[in-house]
Amino acid sequence: MSDFDFLNPRINFGEWVESVFDWLTVHAAWLFDFIKTVITGFYDALNNVLSSPPYYVMMLVFAALALLAGGLRHGWKLALFAIIGFYLIRAFDQWNNAMSTIALVLVSVIIALVVAIPIGILAAKSRVVSMIVRPILDLMQTLPGLVYLVPVIIVFSIGPTPGVVSTIIFAMPPGIRLTELAIRQVDPEVVEAGQAFGSSPGRILRQIQIPLAMPTIMAGVNQVIMLALSMVVIAGFAGAGGLGGQVNQSLQTLDLALGAEAGLCVVIIAVYLDRLSSAIGNRGRVGAMQR
């Protein structure tokens, strides 16, 4: 501190962060290798499932999911959009890249929700956990997406893993926030009624609070999906491939045609997943009202 110049301040925060990551890459390499193996295996398996069948089979699968989510009365519009939209993706010769992008988003969303929902429940149950988590979420949401790529590429090298990890970090906050909000908004009288009948806290959570909070939780799931898709293009800079890689290539080569086609494919996938998750959330809201 004796060498610190208050008139010309310079705090070497970046060097401290770099030294921490240097230490982690040496002493926690086994952990990062394990995480990379799990994520890569999960991504490759899901990508193979989506890419192996003929494109028209997957188009019918996507349309069927739309019908199941929205019902025959409301889901037919999304099913029709799925058939037309994914046919356009195939016509743009971006099918495999689109399936890789969907696999990347699904892996990121699944892992993000597995972490976010329990943390959100804990934050709703404990004010201390909520106070600890809130500034961390603020930091995660305010940092630009490209900032996440620097440390994850250093730790995991290039490939789908840094893309998935950076997407998880970027997309997780709304899942935690809306889960906490959903649990807190459950009518206390309903919870007290469950307690009066001798239900355990775990049973109250599973059978009362989570079902009643499901519509708001599904809104958080929708936000996680949208943020994950918004991060796909940035993940392309980390070598994640898919449509993000195509957009990155179009930027490097100034290929407007490739950028326009890949960008439109991202929009089609985003609209489909947004409407699909919204339809599932609406069905959950109707079920909660009926109960």
Show me where the domains of the chain are located.
30-290
Query: 30-290 is classed in which CATH architecture?
Result: Orthogonal Bundle (1.10)
Q: Among 57-66, 67-76, 164-173, which is the least confidently predicted range?
A: 67-76
Q: What percent of the chain has pLDDT over 90?
A: 11
pLDDT digits (tens, 9 = 90+) for 277-289: 888 766 655 554 4
pTM score of the predicted model: 0.83
Residue 86 has pLDDT above 90, yes or no: yes
Lowest mean pLDDT among 28-32, 56-60, 84-88, 155-159: 155-159
Q: How confident is the model at residue 76 (pLDDT cuts 50, 70, 90)?
A: confident
Position 69 scores a pLDDT of 82
Question: Mean of the pLDDT values across residues 191-206?
Answer: 77
Q: What is the pLDDT of residue 225?
A: 87
- Three-class DSSP labels, the chain: CCCCCCCCCCCCHHHHHHHHHHHHHHHCHHHHHHHHHHHHHHHHHHHHHHHCCCHHHHHHHHHHHHHHHHHHHHHHHHHHHHHHHHHHHHHCCCHHHHHHHHHHHHHHHHHHHHHHHHHHHHHHHCHHHHHHHHHHHHHHHHCCHHHHHHHHHHHHCCCHHHHHHHHHHHHHHHHHHHHHHHHHHCCHHHHHHHHHCCCCHHHHHHHHHHHHHHHHHHHHHHHHHHHHHHHHHHHHHHCCCHHHHHHHHHHHHCCHHHHHHHHHHHHHHHHHHHHHHHHHHHHHHHHHHHC
pLDDT at 276 > cutoff 50: yes
